[in-house]
Amino acid sequence: SENFNANVVKVAKKIKKLGQDDPRTFIHSLKVGLALTLVSLIYYFRPLYAGFGVSAMWAVLTVVVVFEFTVGATLCKGLNRGFATLLAGVLGVGAHHLASLSGEKGEPIILGIFVFLLATASTFSRFFPHIKARYDYGVLIFILTFSLVAISSYRVDEILEMAHERLSTIIIGSVTCIVITISICPVWAGEDLHNLVALNMEKLADFLEVFGGEYFIIAQDGANVVVSKDDNPFLQGYKSVLNSKTSEESLANFARWEPGHGRFSFRHPWKQYLKIGALTRQCAYQIEALNDYINSEIQVPQEFRREFQQSCTKMSSESGKALKGLASAIKTMTYPSSANDHVENSKTAANDLKTTLKAALLENTELLQVIPAATVASLLIKIVTCTDKIAESV
Amino acid sequence: SENFNANVVKVAKKIKKLGQDDPRTFIHSLKVGLALTLVSLIYYFRPLYAGFGVSAMWAVLTVVVVFEFTVGATLCKGLNRGFATLLAGVLGVGAHHLASLSGEKGEPIILGIFVFLLATASTFSRFFPHIKARYDYGVLIFILTFSLVAISSYRVDEILEMAHERLSTIIIGSVTCIVITISICPVWAGEDLHNLVALNMEKLADFLEVFGGEYFIIAQDGANVVVSKDDNPFLQGYKSVLNSKTSEESLANFARWEPGHGRFSFRHPWKQYLKIGALTRQCAYQIEALNDYINSEIQVPQEFRREFQQSCTKMSSESGKALKGLASAIKTMTYPSSANDHVENSKTAANDLKTTLKAALLENTELLQVIPAATVASLLIKIVTCTDKIAESV
């Protein structure tokens, strides 16, 4: 029993944490409950139920499967479902008429062939990336509705009335979802994408701002001092950027279905976010390579190190600041003027570093020991270039 | 009309290409068609239809939504659907009994509260990553069935019979899907994962084997000769590895549901594949950083370059061979003996390179111009380390 209590407490804590991390999840759950309760009213009021009959269950079914977290996803599914049902219903009734021409015996065979062919073709079409991304759910519903209408037409006599009842309940379900999702604390996929792209940049910026310091603390201690990287959240944050492609793409996909909201118009250039996201990831890959050097041993001669440290720290922190500036420019949708200064600064630092390295050679320092440092420098230069590219496309 | 013809030809070519790239997509489509035609038999045979009535449509519905590309995904959805329906059905009937105790007027209110609470709680549970990964579909079906049973119990009198009919048709649908997906050209998620991990390694290996050559061709030409990287498929293949995390995780997730097949037992260590996949990605990030240097200008002094080139090319090609060896070891599930030799070779080459660099300093070459080359070397050394780690965990 004690064990059980401990488990309950653990689960309760998890629930609380999830709710605090993103209170929208909790609100979303309430919205789903509300939508379901609303459509179930059809059952409870006699006049409504008399109108729809058993088809009322399609409204419930629609709400459960269509209601998604973001407005874009709900709209995408709702519209897909509505149009696919309409199209498949019309085709299904058509198939029924064609099949009924061939008499009592031939009808099931013809219907079977129709269903087989359409299901095969539609399933195959789902493998095309373009269709998969936008209309996957619609094609699924198309297969479903066509099969149901075509097959049950063999047994149900009032096929037209059935199709009509079903379509109207599905529309009721979809509209309920869409109205509730937009009117109560809407979660916009577009806004999420906007914030995600800016947040990812900030994560990289956090890393770069801290990196200079971290790296040289170790260098000053001589070497071999293994700083536990995992303790510093700033140095770990960028990892999530590496795998952000999937979520960015799905958000951009849903954002396209959304009407204008807040500062975003209907045809907001969502693709531009994907481009910026790709560049940010590119930069994150460089940082990933750079991160491996934090714990590497460096034994650079004293005189060389001072200058080297100066330019490296400057490059790192200036590109960090530039990225922060760009992120906030994205957030506020303004022209990134301060960021451009920082990009210039980091470029200057990169040039300084080149000079330092040149000078180091003349002093005849041990090349082998400069190499990790040089690699770090070289990667930082790449990051500066990357930042510059991002700045251009914002 | 000419334009239309051209479009038709284009689409036909696309279809042909998709079918040739992965003929399993075409077979899968035929399987879905077959499964649908089979369950629609329930409608056509009078004795079967008499037993199930309108509930027969649930069999069709189940086939359409449960039939997935891989065996694991189909099993996962089918089992989730079956158990969730059973559980929700029992709870729904229970809720109906409880509510009916409160009389004609109170019943819809109590039912409404039940539906609202359960829908909210279940929707919230879908946000937990653990539940999302494995039981997402089950929870969805749970909400759906509970709502349908609880709400329609208000109108339908023979609620138990309805629930029973519905459950049995859903089981018929699920079993049909599972039998067809396993018996006709099964696509195993586990095998796909196995091949994907090995293929990703091979892609990296291809890059590494070609890289040495490509990089130094430019170096020999002096500089500034921009080789169009995009033309060489070997140098582009690794890009897909960078974003392979999502597909690997979903495959591993589905693989867990699969029974033993071929060389894989039921409790095959699928997580190990994810670990190897993560290391491979780690290596791919380094390669991504390396790739940026292919077109960079290098003006290394003649005498230094020869030796440098030798060790770099050797490191690159030996780690490439090692990865190839590891990939084929994974494929054949044998101990990677040849790969270990190549890892050793690449380590030796890395040491040689260090010596070369040391010597280069004594000859007082221009440090600044060695730096890109040194970075390349340094990254290659990291890749060798990475390869070594992969070798350990295979």
Please provide the DSSP assignment of B309-321 as one string: HHHHHHHHHHHHH
Q: Residue B187: which of B133, B245, B262 has the closest Cα?
A: B262
Query: How high is the pLDDT of residue B226?
Result: 45
Query: How high is the pLDDT of residue B137?
Result: 87
- CB count in 10 Å sphere of residue B75: 23
Residues of A in contact with B57 (CB under 8 A): 148, 152
Mutation to test the A interface, candidates B63, B105, B153, B292, most A Cβ within 10 Å: B292
Cβ distance A32 to B120 less than 8 Å, yes or no, reads yes
Cβ distance B246 to A242 less than 8 Å, yes or no, reads no
Whether residue A224 is predicted with pLDDT greater than 60 in this model: the reply is no
Cβ distance B111 to A40 less than 8 Å, yes or no, reads yes
Residues of B in contact with A116 (CB under 8 A): 33-34, 36-37
- CB count in 10 Å sphere of residue B310: 16
Residues of A in contact with B148 (CB under 8 A): 57, 60-61
Phi-psi region of B301 (alpha: psi -120 to 50; beta: other; left: phi over 0): beta
Cβ distance B371 to A378 less than 8 Å, yes or no, reads yes
Residues of B in contact with A169 (CB under 8 A): none
Which phi and psi (to 5°) does residue B264 adopt? -105, 130
Whether residue A168 is predicted with pLDDT greater than 80 in this model: the reply is yes
CA nearest to B149 within chain A: A57
Span A136-154, mean pLDDT? 84
- CB count in 10 Å sphere of residue B105: 7
Percent with pLDDT over 70 in chain A: 69
Distance of CA A259 to the CA centre of its chain: 18
- Of the pLDDT bands very low, low, confident and very high (cuts 50, 70, 90), residue A57 is confident
CA nearest to B247 within chain A: A246
Q: Which of A64, A108, A119 sits opposite B147 (nearest CB)?
A: A64
* Token reading at A358: 């040149």
Query: How high is the pLDDT of residue A132?
Result: 81
CA distance A334 to chain B (A): 31
Residue ranges in chain B modelled with pLDDT below 50: 218-230, 296-299, 362-370, 372
Asked if residue A267 lies in contact with residue A192, where contact means CB atoms within 8 angstroms, the answer is: no
- CB count in 10 Å sphere of residue A293: 19
Q: Residue A368: which of B358, B219, B365, B226 has the closest Cα?
A: B358
Q: Which residues contact A134 (CB under 8 A, 6 or more apart)?
A: A76, A253
Mutation to test the B interface, candidates A65, A81, A124, A139, most B Cβ within 10 Å: A124
The residues facing A261 across adjacent strands are A264
Span A60-87, mean pLDDT? 87
Q: Which of A29, A40, A151 sits opposite B123 (nearest CB)?
A: A29
Query: How high is the pLDDT of residue B227?
Result: 47
Q: Helix or strand or coil: residue B261?
A: strand
Query: How high is the pLDDT of residue B225?
Result: 43
Interface A:B, Cβ pairs < 8 A: 213
Q: Residue A35: which of A183, A200, A180 has the closest Cα?
A: A180
Q: Find the largest Cα–Cα distance for chain A.
A: 99
CA distance B58 to chain A (A): 9
Residues of B in contact with A119 (CB under 8 A): 29, 32-33, 36-37
Q: Residue B261: which of B30, B35, B72 has the closest Cα?
A: B72
Q: Which residues contact B109 (CB under 8 A, 6 or more apart)?
A: none
* Token reading at B137: 């579909």
Query: How high is the pLDDT of residue A365?
Result: 44
HSE on the CB side for B392, CA within 13 Å?
A: 7
Query: How high is the pLDDT of residue B133?
Result: 79
